[in-house]
Amino acid sequence: MSELVVLSIVIPVVLLFLYIIIRHVKLGKVLEGLSVFWFRVAFAFLLLFTLHIGLGYLEYAVSVPINIFSVLTIAILGIPGLLGIVALIFFL
């Protein structure tokens, strides 16, 4: 399919979805919670990537794992999850 056809299908579907969200407040709250969770996941990836680059630049013999388990641990648990991952990094 050409890009124009895809856009002509996707844009009305997205607008209809947004209209439904605006009309139903409860669904909007659920999507707000999902957006907070996805932000935390993205921030956890950013944090792990920054640790990976920073420790690599300082030439420590430490490897920071950037995997889905580490990201979900940090995203769900927050600061205790981050401390747990850092403990695993330095003590394993």
Q: What is the pTM of this model?
A: 0.64
| Alpha-carbon gap, residue 30 to 13, rounded angstroms | 19
- pLDDT tens by residue, 3-54: 777 778 888 888 888 777 777 767 777 778 888 998 999 999 998 888 888 8
| Alpha-carbon gap, residue 39 to 35, rounded angstroms | 6
* N-terminal to C-terminal alpha carbon distance within the chain: 51
Residue 31 contacts residue 69 (beta carbons within 8 Å) = no
CA-nearest of 70, 73, 72 to 89 is 70
- pLDDT tens by residue, 42-86: 999 998 888 888 887 877 777 787 888 888 888 889 889 888 888
